[in-house]
């Protein structure tokens, strides 16, 4: 009997090599190569071929009728917002997140909500037994006769269950535990994940089943397995949050049916995840008043304006090179703002450590928070408290100018709704809209004007 050929494959990007390598030449990851049995053809014996066959024929594009895809609401407004308005039948969704962050809790609550609407839901768990899933469902109050639970990792058995139940919505928790019997490699390997995801993709498209795959993440926070996994699915969601905080953020990094700028905010409680309707109140609930280095900025996540608190601490350094640390914003952005303050505003920060934190753990990646960073650092450096009822936003250029940003009216109305009295914003953003009554609008052109208004 011939000895089977083996190869080494990177678990991060899928790069193949005839021998083991310490560092992947494709993605640069260390110790990511694993040995796998090389196969000449994928065996499909035993796999239910009726699930994979289709009689679709190629037709000219102009002959296809344009129609809006019907979406199914999950009764979770935050999840629907991130998905682009609800679940699309036949879509394949990948959900990743740290262990214990609440992925299974969110999907079990979503499964119950859809089953409560009369849809057939199949929840397949490869990590928990049926009894364990039942205990968690009892704690969450998620029991329904339309919710079917299966503890299985064999792809053949899963396809038989799909053919028997005929679900409208399906959850695979998790894709790294499912294995194809015809693939000679361990579950969770690159070949197994790729092959199983390909089968679930064909089942979802042919039978019109909205399918959610739960993916493990690496220590860097990326979804484990080949990068091809994220290319195959229709939507990639990341469930983020700190273990020591009760809130969770659901963020889309890929979405073929909606925007990737939306975020959903949940709060973890004993009875499960609860939606946060007004995140600005959550992030500002413990804000101190009359303290230097604290500034409220107005950020926009997708279509939703969010007010968050920026905290800066500037102190004299004990090292030859001052430290720059940023949590929640880009480190390079912090260095840029510090350089602008030092060059254009004359602040001597070469012997000062600068620390910046976004209170609440939320991550901000839009340039509209630049002006808030500058005001926070200047406030801490000069030991002058900012006004407690001011909101600041605007993009800062290298010459010290303040550039305009988008969705100004939404940011201002959110600030007014929460009781703020003044808004410091770019003067160029005052055109094209009418400021609401009861709130003072201050337009600035440079960082110097913003600091004189905010630290007066």
Cβ–Cβ < 8 Å for 19, 8 = yes
Cβ–Cβ < 8 Å for 169, 114 = yes
Q: Determine how β-strand 92-97 pairs with β-strand 210-215.
A: parallel
CA distances in angstroms from 65 to 88, 125, 209, listed in the order given: 18, 38, 22
**Annotated binding residue 101:** yes
Alpha-carbon gap, residue 412 to 42, rounded angstroms: 58
Q: Residues in the chain, how many?
A: 456
Q: Which of 194, 175, 167 is nearest to 89 (CA)?
A: 167
**Annotated binding residue 102:** yes
**Annotated binding residue 104:** yes
Q: Which of 364, 376, 249, 370 is nearest to 310 (CA)?
A: 376
**Annotated binding residue 57:** no
Alpha-carbon gap, residue 447 to 346, rounded angstroms: 12
**Annotated binding residue 99:** yes
Q: What is the DSSP letter of 223?
A: B
Q: Which of 178, 170, 171 is nearest to 225 (CA)?
A: 178
**Annotated binding residue 419:** no
Q: How far is CA 58 from the centre of its chain?
A: 36
Q: Which residues are part of a known binding site for ATP?
A: 97-104
Q: Which residues are part of a known binding site?
A: 97-104
């Amino acid at each position: 009997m011939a000895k089977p050929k083996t190869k080494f494959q990177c678990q991060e990007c899928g790069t193949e090599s005839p021998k083991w390598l310490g560092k992947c030449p494709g993605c640069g990851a260390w110790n990511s190569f694993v040995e796998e049995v090389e196969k000449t053809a994928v065996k499909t014996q035993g796999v239910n071929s009726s699930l994979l066959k289709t009689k679709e024929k190629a037709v000219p594009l102009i002959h296809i009728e344009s129609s809006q895809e019907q979406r199914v609401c999950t009764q979770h407004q935050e999840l629907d917002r991130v998905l682009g308005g609800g679940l699309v039948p036949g879509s394949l969704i990948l959900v990743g997140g740290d262990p214990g962050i609440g992925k299974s809790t969110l999907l079990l609550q979503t499964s119950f909500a859809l089953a409560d609407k009369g849809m057939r839901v199949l929840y397949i768990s490869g990590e928990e037994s049926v009894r364990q899933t039942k205990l968690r469902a009892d704690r969450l109050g998620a029991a329904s006769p339309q919710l079917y639970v299966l503890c299985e990792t064999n792809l053949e058995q899963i396809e038989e269950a799909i053919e028997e139940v005929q679900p409208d919505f399906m959850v695979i928790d998790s894709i790294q535990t499912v294995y194809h019997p015809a693939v000679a490699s361990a579950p969770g390997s690159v070949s197994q994940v790729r092959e199983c995801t390909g089968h679930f993709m064909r089942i979802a498209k042919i039978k019109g089943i909205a399918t959610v795959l739960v993916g493990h993440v690496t220590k860097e926070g990326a979804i484990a397995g080949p990068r091809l996994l994220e290319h195959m699915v229709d939507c990639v969601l990341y469930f983020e949050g700190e273990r020591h905080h009760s809130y969770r953020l659901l963020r889309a990094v890929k979405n073929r049916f909606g925007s990737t700028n939306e975020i959903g905010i949940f709060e973890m409680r004993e009875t499960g995840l609860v939606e946060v309707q007004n995140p600005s109140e959550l992030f500002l609930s413990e804000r101190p008043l009359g303290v230097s280095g604290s500034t409220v900025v107005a950020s926009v996540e997708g279509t939703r304006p969010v007010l968050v608190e920026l905290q800066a601490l500037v102190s004299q350094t004990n090292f030859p090179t001052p430290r720059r640390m940023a949590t929640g914003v880009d480190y390079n952005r912090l260095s840029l703002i510090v350089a602008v303050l030092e060059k254009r505003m004359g602040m001597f920060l070469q012997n000062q450590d600068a620390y910046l934190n976004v209170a609440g753990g939320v991550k901000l990646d839009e340039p509209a928070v630049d002006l808030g960073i500058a005001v926070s650092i200047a406030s801490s450096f000069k030991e002058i408290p900012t006004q407690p009822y001011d909101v600041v936003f605007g993009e800062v250029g290298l010459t010290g100018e303040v550039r305009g940003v988008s969705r100004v009216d939404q940011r201002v109305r959110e600030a007014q709704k929460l009781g703020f009295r003044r808004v410091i914003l770019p003067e160029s953003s005052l055109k094209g809209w009418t400021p609401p009554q009861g709130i003072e609008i201050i337009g600035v052109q440079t960082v110097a004007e913003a600091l004189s208004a905010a630290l007066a």
